[in-house]
Every structure is written in structure tokens, then in C-alpha cells.
Structure 1
Amino acid sequence: MLGLFKRYGFAAVVAVGLGLITLVVVGKTLFDSLGGEGAATAAPPGADRGGGGGGGGAPNVLAATTTMHTFTDGLQALGSAQARESIVLTPKVADTIRALRFDSGDRVRRGQVLVEMSSVEQAADMAEARAANDAAQEELRRYQELFERGFASQARLDTVRAAADATEARLNAGGSRIADRTIRAPFAGIVGLRTASPGQFMRPGDQIGTLDDVSEIKLDFDVPETQLARVTQGVEIIARTAAYPDRVFTGRIANVDSRVDPTTRTVRVRAMLPNADEVLRPGMLLTVEVRSNPRQALAIPEIAILDQADGAYVYRVVAREGGQAVDLVRIQTGQRAGGMAEVLEGLSVGDRVITEGVQSVRPGQPVQLGEPPATGDAAQQLPLRPRG
């Protein structure tokens, strides 16, 4: 016998243990099936589990009131910022720089002299042309008097007048050559980095600097041709940039290109963004949202929605004898943006829907609500806080 126990004793102990575990599990199952008072059942949202409380009293929940909110048909795109006006400062003639009248980052006014090229030879030619013109104009004046007194012929007067006109034209040409050696700001703006120095030889096309008017920003972006109806002139857009993640820049569509790109099947759209503080700079990449078809619609917080395979549901708070209860309501939603959802069917203005505590309630169950939310636009309403 001792040998048999040593041989089969461990297996016997294991078998007895498994038997005890089986008895405990079967006993608990029978107890639950006989209607134990503390047993709870679970069902997915929307299942009909009857009315009545859940054995644990009315749970605390948070609710929000449906209100009217502004929705738009959003269209997303990427855009590139450009200055309202922008030029590259470059000389018209090949010569050395005599003087630079600006420094990097300077704000300049329209007509201000920025660059002066060497013009010693042109100044001498200008002085010679001015002297010749003065002499020719004086001679014309004398012959005009002689002609009026009858001492000069018409032919001689015409010859003198032609010579005076020629000298005046040479004077104007000399002035134009000198003007070509002076670069002035064609508009007010900010000068970029200076890339040349006094005494440096420059040719036409060589860059001395840049000038940008950034009081407004032109924002160009492409949209599919199928969305052309949404991007008409005057439609509001909002833009964001990674450089200023906490800011939103608002503008409007100014122009839509007259042609669709046959390769990409997109059309170029240009919006104008005010830039009074000049934080936006040419070349920035911005994300664009076109806000077309603005409308007022019934809205609820998006967190109140229970998305199921057969549709969207919410728990609506209703008045019952002795307190508040909830009903499961099927709704039809539209746009969702900024944490709010557009409600097309199923709710009315003023209805209250559960936003927190959804998992602890079931249809027909009494609930205890927190304090009313702060008044204001639905997008800014705070969730209710339960009472202490």
C-alpha cells in the first residue's frame, strides 16, 4: 500500500483539488441563476433591459444641453505664403556700388533711395549736356525775338528750335542713365538680408537684397476641381502654421485661377490674410481650412454620441416622477468639428444628453445630474460637475 501511495499519491491529490474547484464554480453559477440580489447583467447600449433602477441607486452623470452652433462644410488643403508685394533688388547696369542706403531688416518707405551705383562718368556727361542745353535754349529765345521783329526767317528759327530740342533730349537721356544707377523702393516694406557691399562690382540680375510688403499675405493653395463650387470669392478660410501652433489666422478667398491643371486636376486658389503684426513670412507652409456653406444647426458634444453598427445613439435625460431618468435615442448626425457634432434628427433644442457616465446607465434608469453647465455657445460649454 505504501508503494501504491508513493506511486499514485500526487495524482490523487491533484484530482481531489480539481474536483473541489469544479464544485465551487458550479455552485456559484447555480446561485446566480437562482436570482442572487447582487448579480448584475450587462448589455450593449441600446439593448432593452427594462426600466427600473440598477440595484445600486441613481448614478451621478454629467450632461450637456443641446443648442444651436455654427457649422461649415470644411475643405482641407496646404498653402504657401507669399508677400503682398515682393522684389529682388538688382542693378540695371553693370558697375560698382557707390553707397548702400539700407541695412538688413530695415523698414523703408516708398521712393526711398536704397542703392547708389558709381556714376562719375555719367555725371560729367550730364553736366556737359546741361550746359549745351542751356546755350541752345538761350539761342532759341534770341531767334524767337528776332523772328517776331522781322529780322529772322522762319527757316532759321526752325533750325534753331530743332537744335534746342536735340540738346534737351540729350540732357534727359543723361538724367535717365544716372537714374538707372539709383535703386529706389517701389513700395513700402521690409528689406531682407543684404548680400552685397559698397565697392562691389555688380551686373544686371545680381542680387543686392530683397524687399517685401508683408502687411498682407497672399496664401496660394490647390483644391480638386470637384470642389470648385466651395471656393468662390469671399468665402472665409482659416490657416495654421507649425511656427505658431496656438494661433489661428483668418482670411478670405480673393481669387480663383481661370484654369484647371490638366495633369493634377486641381485649381489654384488665392486667399488674403491680414498680417498686421507681421508674424507670417513669405515661404511659410500653412494648413488651410475653407469654411464654405456656414449654417446654424443643432449641436451636442461629440463625446455624448454612442456609435453603433446600426447608427448613432445618445442617452437623453427625461423627467420622471420623483426625479430624472434616461432614454436611449437614435440620432442622425452631420458635420463633426471642434468637439461638436451636428444633429440632423432625433433631438430638439434644450434636450439634455449624457456626456459622462454613459457606461453606468441603461434605458429607463434614474440618474442624478451634476450642476448646470456654464451658459454660452455650445462649443464653449463646460461639462457638468457632480455634486459633492
Structure 2
Amino acid sequence: MAWPVKRYGFAAAIIAGLGLMAAVVAGKSLLDGGERAVAASAAGPQAKGPGGEAPSVRAEPARRHTFSDAVQAIGTAQARESIVITPKVADTIRAIRFESGQRVRRGAVLVELASVEQQADVAEARAAREAAERELVRYRDLFEQGFLPRARLDSAQAAFDAADARLQAGLSRIADRTIRAPFAGVTGLRTASPGQYARPGDSIGTLDDISLIKLDFDVAETHLARLQPGVAIVARTAAFPDLSFAGEIENVDSRVDAQTRTVRVRALLPNREERLRPGMLMTVEVRSNPREALAAPENAIIDEADGAYVFVAAPRGGAHVATRTRVQTGLRVGGMVEITAGVSEGQLVVVEGVQRVRPNQPVRLIDESERPSGQPAASSGLRGRS
């Protein structure tokens, strides 16, 4: 019959077509493989490694930095000196000699209370003292001439002393009605007016010396050995998030709180620009035990179950080879890691491209100018302090 012959002829045509397609695909694969081989050969031995083409990485020499043991705390800023301006006696305010926010010198008159009656008392006491002084001089002359007994001279001396004491008391009462600045500083908001009746304890204003800020904070007693006068601190406040304020511990309280098991610490912060204000909440970092040590950026460290590693770009045959090196690490502060062993000063540590590197693989070192646009820089603090 004719139909089986036609069927077999159609199947043969299909098989022949599939074979032709397979031959074309195989030929193209061989051609592409040859081109890659030629390109790899032209790139040279420095562009290949056990893991393929050499990855581009950035490396920086290991350098020494200052590390310190940090203790964190929260404290409240206080003025170096601070008072509430209030009268010593109850009377009417005659004059206020300052404005809100005014800078005053030590001894400047701030407030004057009414003192008409006291002035009259002083005038009377001064007149009585002058009369007692004249009588004392006359009695002393008579005594020296022998016309006056010693008892009369002593009485005249006592009368003069009493008159002088009454005068000094009157002057003191007037002084109590004049409020002077006990130290140089800046006045706060004025809270009273002339003609107002003021009593002891009533606030007329405030006076603060903020050229130096006292910062009190509590630290757990377990850190007591690290807290010594002169130890450096760094404080920050939410009001100035981009600024840090350096100071040092002035003193440590002589007692540990039995309830909280903390000790009160006082530090001093220079405040020449007067950014800090009394009452501010500040975070404190006590930096004790400062020391010099090698450091590497945190993203250069490979943490594994058996320890930490870095890739060191070691020169070999005119190229650089990534050597996987085990290191011992210490503190991790501000994106930097303290390296206590495993790397020598000056060795090139891979800080970017770590995930693309394999052990003993050639690498191509790049600098900042070769980084693709938009790619963030490594958190490298090899030129800073920790």
C-alpha cells in the first residue's frame, strides 16, 4: 500500500530537520566558547583566578587608632553657678536694674527695694555715732590730763561702740534691700515689676553662669573602677544631634545608692558658645582606658563560627592576591573594629567587595574615583578616632 511509504517519508524529514537544528546549536556553542577562551587568554593571568575573573575591590592599609572602654549613661545639665533672684526681706520693689537675658558682672545691682525708713534710721544712727565720738575724744583728753577717772573714759568708749554698732546695723538693713549679683552670669526671664510687693522666696528672676556646664549622671557600681577624676567623656543632646561636647569627670560621689546600686558622677563641659542650657537631658559616654590599636572597618570583618577573618590583599607576582587571614577582634565602636592580632600595621585590608572575593584569588584594586556612581562608600574610619 502507498500510505505507509508516505508516512515513513514524513517522519524521516522531521528527524533530519531536528538533526540539522542540533548541529547549528552545537556549532554556535563551540564558537562562543572559543571566543571566551581567546578573551581570557588576552586578559592575561592577572585577570583570572580560581573563582573566575579577578573582582574589583578597594583596600586600605591597617592603621592604629585610639580605642577606649565606653560606659553609657544619661545625665542632666546644670549651670556652673545658679541662683533664684529673691529678696531677703519683705518690701516694695523700688527698681529692677536688669533685663531678661542680660549679661551682668559680679557685684552689679540687680534689684533695689524701698528703704526710706531705713535711710532715716541710718541718718539718726550716724548722728549719734558722731556725737559719741566727740564726747569720747573730749573725755580722753581729760583723762590724759588727770582730770577724769578711768571709769568715765570707759563709759564714753562703750557709748561710742554702741552708736557705731547701731550705724552698722542700719547700713546692713539697707544692704539687704539691694540685691547684687554674687557672680558674673546671664539673667533669665524677669518675673516681677517695680512697685510690686515681694517677700523672701518670691522669684524676681534667675542668674546662671553657663560658661561651664556641670553634668550629673548615675553609673552602675560595677563600673566604679573606671570612674576617676580626669577621665574623658563625650556628651550629646537631641537639641544639637550633629554636635558632641567633650569634657572630663570632675568628681565621683563618696556614696553608692543602696537602692539603685549606682553612684553619682559629675563631669564638666566647657560651654564657651553657650549652646548648652541648664536642665537639658544629655546622653553620656565615659571613655576610660584609652589605648592605641590596629583597626579595620566593620564591613571588612567576616564573622564565622570559628572566629573572625579578613581578606588581606598581598602582592604576588606583580598582582594582588586575596589572602584569607584570621584575626582577633576587640571593641566595635562607630563602625570600626579593634584588631588585637592577625594583621600587621600597613597591610592592605579589603574594605569593599569582600563578598565577591574567594581565598587566594587575584583581585584588582580600585580607588575612590573608580567606584560606580551611586554606590555608597565603605564605612571606613581608618583615618579617624574610635
Compared with structure 1, are the counterparts of its residues 300 and 380 closer, same or farther at alpha carbon in structure 2 (3 Å cutoff)?
Answer: closer
What CA distance in whole angstroms lies between the structure 2 residues aligned with 1:230 and 1:372? 41
What CA distance in whole angstroms lies between the structure 1 residues aligned with 2:142 and 2:258? 74
Q: In structure 1, the residue corresponding to 2:117 is in which secondary structure? A: helix
* Counterpart residue identity of residue 326, structure 1: A
Structure 1 partner of 2:312? 316
Structure 1 partner of 2:235? 239
C-alpha contact (below 8 Å) 2:62/2:382 kept by paired residues: no
1:347 to 340, 343, 346: 343
**What is the root-mean-square deviation of aligned Cα atoms in Å?**
1.9
What CA distance in whole angstroms lies between the structure 2 residues aligned with 1:122 and 1:95? 12
Structure 2 partner of 1:275? 271
* Correspondence 1:174 to 2:176: no
Structure 1 partner of 2:7? none
Structure 1 residues not aligned, in runs of 5+: 1-36, 39-50, 383-388
Structure 1 partner of 2:222? 226
Q: In structure 2, the residue corresponding to 1:206 is in which secondary structure? A: coil
Structure 1 partner of 2:97? 101
Deviation at 1:93, TM superposition (A): 0.5
Structure 2 partner of 1:53? 50
What CA distance in whole angstroms lies between the structure 2 residues aligned with 1:126 and 1:69? 70
C-alpha contact (below 8 Å) 2:297/2:337 kept by paired residues: yes
* Correspondence 1:285 to 2:281: yes
Structure 1 partner of 2:155? 159
Structure 1 partner of 2:196? 200
C-alpha contact (below 8 Å) 1:69/1:379 kept by paired residues: no
Deviations 1:95-141 (A, max 9, x none): 11000010111101111111101111111111111111111111111
Deviation at 1:371, TM superposition (A): 3.2
Deviation at 1:271, TM superposition (A): 0.6
What CA distance in whole angstroms lies between the structure 2 residues aligned with 1:335 and 1:180? 59
Deviation at 1:54, TM superposition (A): 2.6
* Counterpart residue identity of residue 53, structure 1: P
What CA distance in whole angstroms lies between the structure 2 residues aligned with 1:324 and 1:98? 85
C-alpha contact (below 8 Å) 2:320/2:364 kept by paired residues: yes
Give the share of equivalent positions with the same residue, in percent. Answer: 65
* Correspondence 1:89 to 2:85: yes
* Counterpart residue identity of residue 379, structure 1: G
What CA distance in whole angstroms lies between the structure 2 residues aligned with 1:111 and 1:361? 72
What CA distance in whole angstroms lies between the structure 2 residues aligned with 1:177 and 1:365? 91
Structure 2 partner of 1:110? 106
TM-score normalised by length of structure 2: 0.82
Structure 1 partner of 2:381? 379
Deviation at 1:321, TM superposition (A): 2.5
Structure 2 partner of 1:263? 259
1:70 to 66, 70, 81: 66
Deviation at 1:346, TM superposition (A): 1.4
C-alpha contact (below 8 Å) 1:189/1:213 kept by paired residues: yes
C-alpha contact (below 8 Å) 1:64/1:301 kept by paired residues: no
Deviations 1:47-93 (A, max 9, x none): xxxx94333x2111111110111100011111111111111111011
1:131 to 127, 136, 142: 127
Deviations 1:293-322 (A, max 9, x none): 000011111110112232211111112224
Aligned residues: 330
What CA distance in whole angstroms lies between the structure 2 residues aligned with 1:113 and 1:356? 65
Compared with structure 1, are the counterparts of its residues 380 and 195 closer, same or farther at alpha carbon in structure 2 (3 Å cutoff)?
Answer: farther
Deviation at 1:345, TM superposition (A): 1.7
TM-score normalised by length of structure 1: 0.82
